């Protein structure tokens, strides 16, 4: 069982999987193609990735023009941002933020032409994402986390960044 909700951004969905809890802990089915397709998400995923980061690390804004991504936080807590990076769209630069955490188990489906980024709010966080295409750095776009055209609000002034994210290339 999952609950799928539209967001303020066209084509971006929030998915809340059912969390079964008892005296032993938790069980969460994080993906079931049939169940997702029945709820309007009929995307074939071909690659899974995990990123582990520490507090104040900011990764992104990355994306491409062909890949759907299903993203969640397996451990810790993240400030997660999705932004419309389609320069031909009237909604270019429109963004929305979410808090992703191991407590909520919430997932976000990000369509092509959208970028995503996250800031680690906990001591450490594990970020998981499924992709509908194989990773190809040469086809990706990157925007600086503080690009003035996007005007994204971040709960930090001096995040820890990679060279790619610092330069926005």
Q: Is the dihedral of CA 120, 123, 128, 133 positive or negative?
A: positive
Q: Are 134 and 46 in contact (CB under 8 A)?
A: yes
Of 129, 134, 135, 143, the active-site residue reads 129
Distance between CA 46 and CA 26 in Å, rounded?
Answer: 27
Q: Are 54 and 122 in contact (CB under 8 A)?
A: no
Distance between CA 129 and CA 12 in Å, rounded?
Answer: 15
Choose among 61, 50, 97, 63: nearest CA to 78: 97
Q: From residue 98, give the alpha-carbon distance in Å to each of 8, 129, 154.
A: 11, 15, 11
Of 62, 68, 79, 134, the active-site residue reads 62
Would residue 31 show up in a list of annotated catalytic residues for this protein? Answer: no
| Residue in the block written with tokens 């990123």 | 51
Query: 53-62 as b/e, with b when 16 or more CB fall inside 10 Å?
Result: bebebbbbbb
Would residue 68 show up in a list of annotated catalytic residues for this protein? Answer: no
Catalytic residue numbers read 62, 129
């Amino acid at each position: 069982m999952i609950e799928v909700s539209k967001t303020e951004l066209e084509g971006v969905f929030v998915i809340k999987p059912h969390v079964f809890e008892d005296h032993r802990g938790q069980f969460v089915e994080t993906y079931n193609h049939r169940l997702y397709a029945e709820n309007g998400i009929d995307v074939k995923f071909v690659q899974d990735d995990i990123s582990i980061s520490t507090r104040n690390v900011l990764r992104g804004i990355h994306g491409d023009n062909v890949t759907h991504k299903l993203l969640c936080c397996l451990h810790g807590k993240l400030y997660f941002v999705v932004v419309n990076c389609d320069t031909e769209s009237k909604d270019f630069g429109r963004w929305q933020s979410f808090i992703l955490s191991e407590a909520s188990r919430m997932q976000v489906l990000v369509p092509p032409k959208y970028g995503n980024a996250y800031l680690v709010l906990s001591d450490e966080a594990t970020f998981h994402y499924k992709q509908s295409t194989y990773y190809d750095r040469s086809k990706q776009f990157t925007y600086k986390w503080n690009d003035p055209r996007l005007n994204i609000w971040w709960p930090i002034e001096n995040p820890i960044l990679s060279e790619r994210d610092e330069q926005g290339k």
